[in-house]
Chains A and B, each alone.
Chain A
Amino acid sequence: RKEVEQDPGPFNVPEGATVAFNCTYSNSASQSFFWYRQDCRKEPKLLMSVYSSGNEDGRFTAQLNRASQYISLLIRDSKLSDSATYLCVLSDDYGQNFVFGPGTRLSVLP
């Protein structure tokens, strides 16, 4: 089983839609969780950290379920500019090992 798995995508949604991505991980020792976005041919950029209690940043909501070992990202009221690949990233207790998921591509259509 791969360390980090994500919805295969691509997701093609109309503007204004709500879309959710899931990510599952196999290492129960993982301590820190993040969502990054990566635009085509660009570097990944931190979108948001994911906290145990769940957290929200504008239209974006992240959830963590340690018992089931998955995290999710919900995007409300999708914009054209949300089109990108979304990467699920974990690190261990010591912050030394960052593991990246393969990413889920989102295309928001006019």
Chain B
Amino acid sequence: DGGITQSPKYLFRKEGQNVTLSCEQNLNHDAMYWYRQDPGQGLRLIYYSQIVNDFQKGDIAEGYSVSREKKESFPLTVTSAQKNPTAFYLCASSTDSVSAETQYFGPGTRLLVL
């Protein structure tokens, strides 16, 4: 089955620790995105990538980093510089930008700070 997977479903971070959230898709989509959602709020864009080996900052990139070494993978690292990381993290993908196809989401990762 084609789709987007995220792991882990829940992640606990200790203060000062970097953690990495996984996002994999087998939809052959070019574009991938990371969003953060806080309780009762909309999605905010962290980073996005239109093509392998290229990515752009979104609205709230500070304290996060990404890589796009493979088309199907777009991991997000939450660094110790992100002071308020507790949130629901959603990864999405879409076909190439010209077609303006909509986005499909993975099941999300909930990050909690200990």
B105 within 8 A of A: yes
| Any B CB within 8 A of the CB of A61 | no
Contact with A along B44-69 (1 / 0, CB 8 A): 01001010000000000000000000
Partner of A87, one of B31, B42, B45, B50: B42
B100, A100: Cβ atoms under 8 Å? no
A96 adjacent to B102 (CB under 8 Å): no
Closest to B100 in A: A95
Residues of B within 8 A of A94 (CB): 97-98, 100
- 8 Å CB contacts to B: which residues of A6-41? 31-32, 34, 41
Contact A44 B43 (CB under 8 A): yes
Binary interface encoding of chain A residues 73-110 relative to chain B, with 1 for a CB under 8 A from any of its CBs, else 0: 00000000000000101010111101011110000000
B33 at the interface (CB under 8 A from A): yes
Task: State whether the Cβ of A57 lies closer than 8 Å to any Cβ in chain B.
Answer: no
State whether A32 and B102 are in contact (beta carbons under 8 Å apart), knowing that A43-B107, A98-B33, A102-B42 are contacts in the complex.
yes
Q: With the chains together, A103 CA to B35 CA distance in Å?
A: 15
A45 lies within 8 A of chain B by Cβ: yes
Number of residues in B with C-beta < 8 Å to the partner?
26
Interface residues, chain B, CB within 8 Å of chain A?
31, 33, 35, 41-43, 45, 48, 50, 88, 90, 92, 94, 96-108
Interface residues of A (CB under 8 A from B): 4, 31-32, 34, 41-46, 49, 87, 89, 91, 93-96, 98, 100-103
Using A98-B45, A98-B92, A98-B103 as known contacts, list a sample of 19 further A-B pairs with CB atoms less than 8 Å apart, ordered by residue number in A. A4-B42, A42-B107, A43-B90, A43-B107, A44-B105, A46-B103, A87-B43, A94-B97, A94-B98, A95-B94, A95-B99, A95-B101, A96-B31, A96-B50, A100-B35, A100-B43, A101-B42, A102-B42, A103-B42
